Amino acid sequence: MHDGRITITQFIIEEQRHIENATGDFTSLLNDIVTACKVISDLVNHGALVGVLGAAGTENVQGEDQKKLDVISNDVFLRSNEWAGHLAAMASEEMEEVYPIPARYPRGKYLLTFDPLDGSSNIDVNVSVGTIFSILRCPGECKTHPSAEAFLQPGTEQVCAGYALYGPSTMLVLTTGNGVNGFTLDQNIGEFILTHPNMTIPEDTGEFAINASNMRFWEAPVKRYVDECLAGSDGPRGRDFNMRWIASMVAEVHRILTRGGIFMYPLDEKMKARGLEGKLRLMYEANPMSFIIEQAGGASSTGRERIMEIKPKDLHQRVPVILGSKHEVERVEAYHKEMDTDAAA
């Protein structure tokens, strides 16, 4: 820009210039995603003024009540990204099946997964929510016959991941595998401006985030970790910890990228009894957030394995998520290992 500020478009174009055989498709796809996030940001900002709050009266594939804004945001994402010819298909938390690009539009070489409005239980109470997205390459014949199987690639195959946070200011945080950069929406000119270059997570932290109402259902390693944090300077950690729970993963991850911390939505007995393997979804929540966290120097694990190495079995698969400052995530992993080794002995 003439005033020396770097817009997200300029940033992406300059980043892609260094990639051999880059055709501009990816840059253009990201621009459409950015546009969708700006539209959602505007709807979230106006809330009750434009009649978008409240329940939609429908359920998504996970059997969860959909909010009006869940449904509207999903539609915004589909309409913004279906026409330009960069995608073969899309998949979302709000749609049971894959959405192949309609025949009236050209199909492209990428796949897009997204959670259009994560943390939507917070919409009606005016607390931060966000959009999470992940871009994959379309393998083999998937361009002509895009199926759910085409999406079932481990997180290590992601070309790009990002989130938009609709908070006091709207931010977009992005990785293409070359570090993590954050942009703030300048509402006056309608552009995201680079404000947080090279975001990194401190390896150690004094802050943890978990929904403590599930405490009695947790597995022993998670219980041990949290008990030790709560014991503070009187316990084995020898220092006090602080706790946060926003119930909005995008806001929690953003806090961790800003000042460190650990976020946990672990496996628990309540989920196991319902046949679930976790609360958060692998393809459009855990994988993109793991890519961002790892690129910022953090770690992301189920407690037993690196999330990005999981070979997905299902589009809407759930996984336990433990992510954030590296040394703390490693500690929780070590507690799992100890317990699993003891149980096997």
Smallest separation (angstroms) from ligand AHM to the CB of 317: 14
CB of 43 to ligand AHM, least distance (A): 16
Among 41, 66, 113, 120, binds ligand AHM (CB under 6 A): 120
N- to C-terminal Cα distance for the chain?
A: 63
Q: Where are the alpha helices (DSSP H) in the chain?
A: 8-16, 25-46, 68-81, 148-151, 220-231, 249-259, 269-273, 287-295, 326-344
Judged by CB under 6 A, the chain residues 260 through 289 that form the site for ligand AHM are 265
- Shortest spacing between CB 281 and Mg ion, in angstroms: 7
Partner interacting with residue 32 (select from ligand AHM, Mg ion, none; CB below 5-8 Å by kind): none
Q: Does 118 bind ligand AHM (CB under 6 A)?
A: yes
- Least distance CB 249 / ligand AHM (angstroms): 3
Alpha-carbon distance 22 to 65, whole Å?
41
**197 Cα distance to chain centroid:** 19
Q: Which is nearer to Mg ion, 115 or 252 (CB)?
A: 115
Residue 169 contact among Mg ion, ligand AHM, none, beta carbon within 5 to 8 Å by kind: none
What does 136-148 look like in DSSP terms, one character per residue?
Answer: EE--GGGGTS--H
Residue in this structure with the two tokens 């995201």, named with its chain if needed: 192
Residues of span 154-213 touching ligand AHM by CB under 6 A: 211
Among positions 46-65, residues that touch ligand AHM (CB under 6 A) are 64
- Which residue has tokens 């793991």? 290
Angle at 27 between CA 21 and CA 28, to 5 degrees: 115
Q: Which helix (H) or strand (E) holds 56?
A: strand 55-59
Half-sphere exposure of 329 (CA within 13 A, CB side): 31
Q: Choose, by CB under 6 A, the member of 249, 308, 323, 332 that binds ligand AHM.
A: 249
Q: Where would I find the H helices in 186-301?
A: 220-231, 249-259, 269-273, 287-295
Q: Which of the listed partners (Mg ion, ligand AHM, none) does 247 bind, with a CB threshold of 5 to 8 Å by partner kind?
A: ligand AHM
Taking CB under 6 A as the rule, does residue 248 contact ligand AHM?
yes
Ranges within 105-134 binding Mg ion (CB under 5 A): 115, 118
Q: Are 232 and 239 in contact (CB under 8 A)?
A: yes
Q: How far is the CB of 181 from Mg ion (least distance, A)?
A: 23
Among 39, 247, 276, 339, interactor with ligand AHM by CB under 6 A: 247
State the minimum distance, in angstroms, from the CB of residue 36 to Mg ion. Answer: 16
Can you give the C-alpha Rg of the chain in angstroms? 20
What whole-number distance in Å separates Cα of residue 96 and Cα of residue 332? 33
Point out which residues bind ligand AHM (CB under 6 A): 64, 93, 115, 118-121, 211, 247-249, 265
Where does this chain bind Mg ion (CB under 5 A)?
A: 115, 118
